[in-house]
Structure 1
Amino acid sequence: MHTRDLHPTDLQLARLAVRDDAAFEALVNRHAAGVHRLAAAMVGPGAADDVVQDVFIAVHRGLKGFRGEAAFSTWLHRITLNACHKALRGKGHPTVPLSDTPGLAAPHDPVHAGEQADLRVRLAQALHSLPADQREAVSLRELSGLDYAEIAEVTGAELGTVKSRINRGRAALRAYLTKMEITP
């Protein structure tokens, strides 16, 4: 990369990454956390790391064919969803019970850490209780921050279908959490 390209776009990095490991590393650093969040929501935290690895292997292999007709993030999300679906179909990605996920709270506050871990487990259970199409749409919206049109492009669904899936998914999550006595 040139010094004038201090903040290259994803498309610029993708084109450079075909032959430049530093550009590919920049793409990975820029998108790995988001890919991991989406994978964890779709396949569970225990399988997310393997899915992320599969995603970036597929991205690296596919960069030569990426023409930039769609946004890089759209292409990346589609690859992520494909890897998640593959992981859910196969047995190559062991899952870790949700109760084994690490806490977010500081270790010096074990009560708060325990409450946070419990809430995270319940939220993950609620998300996994949704049908796959709703979980996918809600995850892309709430975890990846995509707008409805981007979700439609990534999933290949009509815009109205995306809106419906998200609304039904949110309602189901609200009902599930209310049943578990968690105020959504």
Structure 2
Amino acid sequence: MTATATDEARLVARARDGDQTAFADLVRAHHSAAHRVAVLMGAGAEADDVVQDAFVRAHAALSGFKADAAFRPWLLRIVANLVRNLHRSRRRRLDVLVRFVAHDPRADEPEQPDDLVLADERQRALWSALWRLPDTDRQVLGCRYVLDLSEEETAHVLAWPKGTVKSRAARALKRLRALLEDEVDRG
């Protein structure tokens, strides 16, 4: 275990024992990554709420957290599950709305967050293409290449087998390249 992992394990143990300062340190250490996962998975304007709920749930579930496990992937899996639940809830609300009103489902696609608008045109094109990918592609690429998680950590966050992460990441990269090539051809 590295010094950082050991320090984090101590923080988790202290937080499990009721040390609120230790849990606050965990929140500070992982808030940014949790927020990025929520945004990348399409939480949109509700990303802050998802992250807050994830930390509340993580705190409540600390007693069941395995002492030898890494906290970050465990937390990010909670975030991913909450975003999935949010999508299901959105779909159910949309289904009800569609029954009563003529509605364009494309209006409910997640918008690219303002904080991801980047100055460099190439990066904007990359983000634009990433958002046009299916959710599962965006999720696996976001975890692997934006958050720089390992295949194992990504598998844990997304609750997929490690082999699935590897194959979906390869296919998602191929789709992303095709989208970017199309954009270059149009430009």
Between 82-91 and 41-50, the greater mean CA deviation after superposition = 41-50
Match of 1:161 in 2: 164
The 1-side partners of 2:5 and 2:165 are apart by 32
SS of the equivalent of 2:63 reads: helix
For structure 2, the 5+ residue unaligned runs are 94-107
TM-fit CA distance, 1:6: 10
Backbone CA RMSD of aligned residues: 3.1
Deviations 1:107-143 (A, max 9, x none): xxxxxx4x56x954x5444223323332222111012
Q: Is the 8 Å Cα contact of residues 148 and 162 (structure 1) preserved in structure 2?
A: yes
| 1:15 matches 2:13 | yes
> Partner amino acid for 2:75?
L
Q: Is the 8 Å Cα contact of residues 34 and 143 (structure 1) preserved in structure 2?
A: no
> Partner amino acid for 2:82?
A
Question: How do 1:81-100 and structure 2 match up within 5 A?
Answer: 81-91=80-90, 97-98=111-112
Identity %: 34
| 1:171 matches 2:174 | yes
Question: How do 1:109-124 and structure 2 match up within 5 A?
Answer: 113=119, 119-120=123-124, 122-124=125-127
For structure 1, the 5+ residue unaligned runs are 106-112
TM-fit CA distance, 1:27: 0.4
Q: Is the 8 Å Cα contact of residues 44 and 95 (structure 1) preserved in structure 2?
A: no
> Partner amino acid for 2:156?
E
For these two proteins, the number of residue pairs brought into alignment is: 166
| 1:138 matches 2:141 | yes
Q: Is the 8 Å Cα contact of residues 127 and 135 (structure 1) preserved in structure 2?
A: yes
Higher-helix-fraction structure: 2
> Partner amino acid for 2:45?
G
TM-fit CA distance, 1:151: 2.1
Using structure 2 for the length normalisation, give the TM-score: 0.73
Using structure 1 for the length normalisation, give the TM-score: 0.74
Check 1:162–1:52 CA distance in 2 against 1; reply closer, same or farther (3 A cut): same
Match of 2:24 in 1: 25
Q: Is the 8 Å Cα contact of residues 42 and 128 (structure 1) preserved in structure 2?
A: no
Q: Is the 8 Å Cα contact of residues 74 and 156 (structure 2) preserved in structure 1?
A: no
> Partner amino acid for 1:181?
V
The 1-side partners of 2:69 and 2:32 are apart by 21
Between 61-70 and 14-23, the greater mean CA deviation after superposition = 61-70
Match of 1:64 in 2: 63
